[in-house]
Structure 1
């Protein structure tokens, strides 16, 4: 099959037209060479600025025609500081980096070892023999013997001076001997077996203070009271009130002995004599008890005073056995009077009382109970009964039963073994509000003194027997100090009004 020449190859289709062909146009010789590009003429000023110099055809001028009057950059010497910091180290020409372990500016060559045998680079040389020969010292001959003069004085003192020194030394020795002899005969010896030290003048037991005087007057009448059971032990105090052997104390001191028949009750006197005791009587509502000892002679009886004329600030002294330490004395003052203090029953005592107490700052601790509180005249004005000890020790708040309340109760206990108390037939609780302050009646005993006096429930007693009532405890104390079957005036509040009344306490 003949080739189809209707579609010629790309080279033929896109090739240049042959010269002389009608498609090329023009004459064959003239149309082969492409036409030159035509430019706009260059202005003389532009040619002067951007044109080549005369005679130069290439891009650079020949060497012989390069101008030497052009300024060339001048490299100045580097700054010494920068050269030291950034320059190439001395002797180094290959790198700018310094050895971080090198020490520039210092000699790095190690000194040659003194021993050439240890220097591998040393040259061969002769040295001393391996074993040296010691030099022999010249023999010495003994010199002349030295005398005392040469040894002591170095042959620098004459014989006359030596004689003078000897005389002086002799005189010093004689003088020292005479002085020693004189001091031995005149000065007394340091030690002696005939010296007796004196501790004071004769009769030095005289009291030197008011407290000491009271202590000497009272101490023999004060006793310690011990109670022992099979599982418990208690200690209290007391004081002798009669030469027949009667001793007054607190009920809570001997309560264990009263409630346990197997308990052992003993009284210990100031001379440490220990005597068995018996309970003559006790009163749980006033916390007073009387015990008795038998067959004890020469008892010292306490001097009982009165508590009616006590003054706040008056000096008082407390006796007893606090914490088991018998024959202890503490002093203080009367801090307050007529302080109602409730005493509640506990595991060791059946006392249920409210005492009209003398408050004192004389230290009263457990064991002081039952001991006497004495004034400056050595007279008993109260019985130490309780102490306010929230922290477990005395804080200056002690309480004693006034002796004026103790005496009638003690006499009744000695006489009858029991005590009758006044009562008004009501129960009360403390009330404090913006309307009234006192003892509010909770219930009234039918047919009792309070009902007969017209007292009703919820009435508030504000005064009793001339004493202001601010709590139920104060009403209890006021009733206990009244006389049985004796008319007593009182005031009470009801429905915003205050009424006056009269009531007659009866025996309980």
Structure 2
């Protein structure tokens, strides 16, 4: 049915990225795979483990091999190691083998923060699988997510508007998540979203080791509890887990990611390299940055889907182990879930971090908790991708921004809005759609039932139409 869940073909315009494997202190793998748009067949499969940001890319850039692995995977210090003896020292890390990020091999790479977090020698995994449903629950008791103003501790020593004041408010709601799946081990982060013990994190943190995964959640007060995966959504890299027997928890307060502006303060929480309760600060650098993460990792059962996000970009340092932790505003309200970073080959944080907007993450978490299954926003289309155009629409020699529709599903949102095969979508909900990643990320950011404006070209004429979004259940 809907193919917006697919992954752009290797030759698409999206720049490649690396997803470093395990290290100490962080979960490090990502669910990937799924359908990818091919030059003439709409979508083709892709099994890579990396993160990409939309933009032009060289025809030689391939997404077919795991980023950071390649032919030397057995000797790659970022990969999952089976014993202590195999784990190399951090200073011995060679340049990561992956595709360049940007035009003509600019040298940037997008890497899953969780994966890098396992650099210290732990074999990393993935986390969670967010599955949501739009209200048609299975009898589960409704859960109120987030905290009321009266639930948060008083800021006795520091002014609330200071970073220290934000830390006092948020830190009790941040957890470190330890993953153990036999010889595979790693860690990530998460945020408490209800007093009942529900915790929001990344899918690539919660799903490490597949069904063999044992999850331990460590809280701010020093207590530790086993946890189970409630649901996960690889397509958005989100998951919900629940701590067993945890009581008197302090849930986070949710902000409104739609009201964030570039330049607003941002504070990131998590356990980079296993260092729990680490806090870094910066600003919001960009909004709706198209990012694609995903892939497979030897020895890790991740389920294969790739994740698209219209991300909040921040220069607040995010490193391996921060994955799944909260990104908050200057008032201590959560505005995003840390998920990925861009990095130079063999390097760490360079001030390019990406977080899933909290409005989207909260919606999916509510679906998972209420029904155990996520629902994915769709518009009823299949995409055509030109392998030689750097990811632009497949329409002859035209490489201008836009995404060509290969087909439109009868009765779907796109058809009802008047779109036809061959139309080129240039803007979605007021945002430019330069490539397939940007379009898919924006579609998934919005909820079913919303009405958005869509700009498109047909026969060199630009038009605009209103489209009411739909959704479908996520099969895991």
8 Å CA contact 1:287–1:353 kept in 2: the answer is: yes
Shift of 1:453: 4.2
User: Between Structure 1 and Structure 2, which shows a larger proportion of helix residues?
Assistant: 1
> Of the two structures, which has the highest relative contact order with CA contacts closer than 8 Å and spacing of 6 or more?
2
Q: What whole-Å deviation, never above 9, does each CA across 1:172-202 have from its counterpart, x for those lacking one? A: xxxxxxxxxxxxxxxxxxxxxxxxxxxxxxx
Give the secondary-structure state (helix, strand or coil) at the position aligned to 2:221.
coil
Shift of 1:454: 4.3
Cα distance in structure 2, aligned partners of 1:485 and 1:373 = 27
Cα distance in structure 1, aligned partners of 2:207 and 2:437 = 23
Q: Corresponding residue for 2:157? A: 206
2:365 to 406, 410, 427: 410
Go from structure 1 to structure 2 and tell me whether the alpha carbon gap of 1:483 and 1:316 turns closer, same or farther (over 3 Å shift). closer
Confirm whether residue 251 of structure 1 aligns to residue 196 of structure 2.
no
Q: Corresponding residue for 1:281? A: 231
Unaligned runs of 5+ in 1: 1-204
User: Between Structure 1 and Structure 2, which shows a larger proportion of strand residues?
Assistant: 2
2:453 to 476, 485, 489: 489
Cα distance in structure 2, aligned partners of 1:207 and 1:491 = 48
Q: Corresponding residue for 2:175? A: 223
Give the secondary-structure state (helix, strand or coil) at the position aligned to 2:343.
coil
Bigger CA drift: 392-401 or 382-391? 382-391
Q: Corresponding residue for 1:309? A: 259
Shift of 1:462: 0.8
Cα distance in structure 2, aligned partners of 1:481 and 1:498 = 24
Cα distance in structure 2, aligned partners of 1:296 and 1:454 = 51
1:389 to 317, 323, 343: 343
Give the secondary-structure state (helix, strand or coil) at the position aligned to 2:251.
coil
8 Å CA contact 2:176–2:217 kept in 1: the answer is: yes
Cα distance in structure 2, aligned partners of 1:341 and 1:366 = 17
RMSD: 2.3
Give the secondary-structure state (helix, strand or coil) at the position aligned to 1:411.
helix
Q: What whole-Å deviation, never above 9, does each CA across 1:371-415 have from its counterpart, x for those lacking one? A: 011112111111111111233300100011111111111111111
Cα distance in structure 1, aligned partners of 2:176 and 2:399 = 50
Q: Corresponding residue for 1:380? A: 334
Give the secondary-structure state (helix, strand or coil) at the position aligned to 1:431.
coil
Cα distance in structure 2, aligned partners of 1:251 and 1:335 = 24
Unaligned runs of 5+ in 2: 1-155, 386-390
8 Å CA contact 1:381–1:402 kept in 2: the answer is: yes
8 Å CA contact 1:436–1:493 kept in 2: the answer is: no
Cα distance in structure 2, aligned partners of 1:506 and 1:310 = 25
Go from structure 1 to structure 2 and tell me whether the alpha carbon gap of 1:336 and 1:470 turns closer, same or farther (over 3 Å shift). same
Q: TM-score, normalised by structure 2?
A: 0.59
Go from structure 1 to structure 2 and tell me whether the alpha carbon gap of 1:497 and 1:214 turns closer, same or farther (over 3 Å shift). same
Q: Corresponding residue for 2:436? A: 472
Confirm whether residue 364 of structure 1 aligns to residue 330 of structure 2.
no
Shift of 1:455: 3.3
8 Å CA contact 1:249–1:290 kept in 2: the answer is: yes
1:264 to 214, 228, 234: 214
8 Å CA contact 2:329–2:335 kept in 1: the answer is: yes
Confirm whether residue 431 of structure 1 aligns to residue 392 of structure 2.
yes
Q: Corresponding residue for 2:41? A: none
Give the secondary-structure state (helix, strand or coil) at the position aligned to 1:462.
strand
Go from structure 1 to structure 2 and tell me whether the alpha carbon gap of 1:277 and 1:285 turns closer, same or farther (over 3 Å shift). same
Q: What whole-Å deviation, never above 9, does each CA across 1:303-343 have from its counterpart, x for those lacking one? A: 22222221211211100011111111111111111111111
Q: What whole-Å deviation, never above 9, does each CA across 1:11-70 have from its counterpart, x for those lacking one? A: xxxxxxxxxxxxxxxxxxxxxxxxxxxxxxxxxxxxxxxxxxxxxxxxxxxxxxxxxxxx
8 Å CA contact 1:462–1:469 kept in 2: the answer is: yes
Cα distance in structure 2, aligned partners of 1:449 and 1:216 = 45
Q: TM-score, normalised by structure 1?
A: 0.56
Q: What whole-Å deviation, never above 9, does each CA across 1:263-312 have from its counterpart, x for those lacking one? A: 21110112332210011111112111111112222212212222222121
8 Å CA contact 2:451–2:466 kept in 1: the answer is: yes
8 Å CA contact 2:392–2:399 kept in 1: the answer is: no
8 Å CA contact 2:231–2:368 kept in 1: the answer is: yes
Cα distance in structure 2, aligned partners of 1:231 and 1:220 = 31
Q: How many residues align?
A: 302
Go from structure 1 to structure 2 and tell me whether the alpha carbon gap of 1:308 and 1:482 turns closer, same or farther (over 3 Å shift). closer
Cα distance in structure 1, aligned partners of 2:330 and 2:268 = 11
Shift of 1:447: 5.2
Q: Write the mapping of 1:146-225 to structure 2, written as runs, cut at 5 A.
A: 206-207=157-158, 210-225=162-177
8 Å CA contact 2:309–2:442 kept in 1: the answer is: no
Go from structure 1 to structure 2 and tell me whether the alpha carbon gap of 1:366 and 1:442 turns closer, same or farther (over 3 Å shift). farther
Cα distance in structure 1, aligned partners of 2:399 and 2:310 = 27
8 Å CA contact 2:291–2:441 kept in 1: the answer is: no
8 Å CA contact 2:309–2:445 kept in 1: the answer is: no
Cα distance in structure 2, aligned partners of 1:397 and 1:479 = 23
Q: Corresponding residue for 1:345? A: 295
